[in-house]
Amino acid sequence: MKSIKGILFIILIMSSSALLWYFATPIEPIQTVNRLSHVIGGMAITGFFLVFLLATRMKIFERWFHGLENVYFYHKYIAIFSLVLVIIHGQLQGIVPRSDKVERTSFSELAKELGSLGQYGFIALILIALLAKFLKYEHWRIFHRLLLIPYAFGIYHAYFSSRYDLLQPTPLGIFTAITMTIGFMSALYMLTMYQDMFFKYNGKITGIKKLGSDVIELELTLDKKISYRHGQFIFIKILQDGIEKAPHPFSISGGDGKKVFISIKALGDYTKKVYDAVQLNTPVVLDGPYGHLNFENGTQQQVWIAGGIGITPFLSYLQSQPVDRDIELFYTYHGQGNAIYKEFLQDYAQTNEQFSVNFIDTSQSDRLSFENFSVPPQTSIFMCGPEKMLKHFKKQLKSCNKDISVDFEAFKFK
């Protein structure tokens, strides 16, 4: 399991939270149902700490979870899990006997109100987040950032309506202070500083090439060199009036670090706008590199599979050096208009004995399939393209080749 370190980290934090709440001493003795409600509420607030922490795109998490898309996967499911805990906590509080509840003060009354508001806020915002595919990405992001508000309410609620004195330097008090501070700062950082601090590479667009009817290749010249591995991607902001300022991820398709190429397929609002309107000399800023594909770490025998625009990470490698291992590329696309860089790949295969390429045009032939496709043991398989296709191929390949390693980059954060 490639995300093992990340999963262990989550288990460690969540179980520490559960144990610390369970074994902590309340201000006055409380009934079991109330204790359980506190454990669950405490775990929920710890879960949200993890949600915000994972959203910071810290490199260490990318390594621990084997890729940013996996970090986002756990970010999403911890949020859902924490929301379920919040709801259970609320329900359990409803059955706690009156005599067991915290004494009424203006702080505790407000904390109770904020707890309820926080709960509704989490429910609404997480439901909206799950409807991502029906929303414009920019709108989705705005709603997503509002999660900080119910989290702040939750923190106040935890401190002022719990039956435990969290302000004391007990193990639970220290754990809560640390996690809540980091969680809150992480959310605040993503909201305010990320946009300025993390875009360390400035540059401008020095070349524009249209490849077919909907793919555009941009040459970016940077003020300072970015070091990256072939197969990695960056987040870019194109600072041109009329083009959305939000960062978008694109794989590096070539260059030497000072010059970087990206190839963009016009699929939605942003990419279509870039395709139609982007101009030479427009300033850009980059954050990155990110991504776990590592062809150099693969074995001598490699199979590459690219779907459509998913050819970009492979181009980065091929354009930089002659291959020093045996690579067979399967490149599938729909219609010749989508077969970008076909000539380059054909020429490359002719001049490099160790490289061969199969073109699969699904408008002319059957879909690519790896049913009963066996490869020599120890082959490394790298894939890039639509997530559904990649998962399907992975299943087919693994079913008849037990010892192979399959690694892929889907152009989607879950």
Enumerate binding residues for ligand FAD (CB under 6 A): 133, 137, 233, 246-251, 263-265, 267-271, 309, 312, 409, 411-413
The residue (of 179 and 271) whose beta carbon lies closer to ligand FAD is: 271
Which of 144, 265 has the CB closer to ligand FAD?
Answer: 265
Nearer Cβ to ligand FAD (25/279): 279
Structure tokens at 97: 């006997």
Cβ burial 227-260 (10 Å sphere, 16+ → b, else e) = ebbbbbbbbbbbebeebbeebbbbbbbbbeeeeb
Residue 208: exposure state from Cβ atoms within 10 A (0-12, 13-18, ≥19): middle
CB closer to ligand FAD, 251 vs 379 = 251
Q: Comparing C-alpha atoms, which of 211, 163, 184, 161 is closest to residue 32?
A: 163
The residue among 131 and 178 lying less far from ligand FAD, judged by its C-beta, is 131
Cis bond leading into 171, ω under 30°?
no
Measured in whole angstroms, the distance separating CA 93 from the mean position of its chain's CA atoms is 35
Question: Considering the complex, what minimum distance in angstroms separates the CB of residue 408 from ligand FAD?
Answer: 11
- Token pair of 403, please? 């010892």
Residue 128 Cβ, how far from ligand FAD at the closest point, in Å? 14
Closest approach of Cβ 28 to ligand FAD, in Å? 49
Nearer to ligand FAD, 14 or 284 (CB): 284
CB 53 within 8 A of CB 186: yes
Angstrom distance (rounded) from CA 246 to CA 197: 15
Question: Smaller CB distance to ligand FAD: residue 3 or 46?
Answer: 3
- Write the CB contacts of 389 (distance below 8 Å, at least 6 apart in sequence): 307
**Shortest reach from residue 263's CB to ligand FAD, in Å:** 6
C-beta of 198: minimal distance to ligand FAD in Å? 14
| Share in percent of the chain as helix, strand, coil (round to 5) | 50, 20, 30
Retrieve residue 13's tokens: 């934090």
CB of 287 to ligand FAD, least distance (A): 11
Nearer to ligand FAD, 250 or 355 (CB): 250
The CA–CA distances, whole Å, from 73 to 61, 225, 342 equal 12, 31, 34
Q: Which residue is nearest to ligand FAD (CB)?
A: 268
C-beta closer to ligand FAD: residue 209 or 412: 412
Nearest distance from C-beta of residue 48 to ligand FAD, angstroms:
22
- The C-alpha atoms of residue 44 and residue 84 are separated, in whole angstroms, by 8
| Cα dihedral 115/116/122/127 (nearest 10) | 170
Residue 200's closest CA among 135, 268, 277, 285? 285
Instruction: Tell the smallest beta-carbon distance from residue 219 to ligand FAD (Å).
Output: 14
Q: Using an 8 Å Cβ cutoff, are 213 and 104 in contact? A: no
Planar angle of CA 259, 277, 220, nearest 5 degrees: 5
Q: How far is the CB of 403 from ligand FAD (least distance, A)?
A: 27
* Shortest Cβ 212–ligand FAD spacing (Å): 12
* Closer residue to ligand FAD (CB): 42 or 289: 289
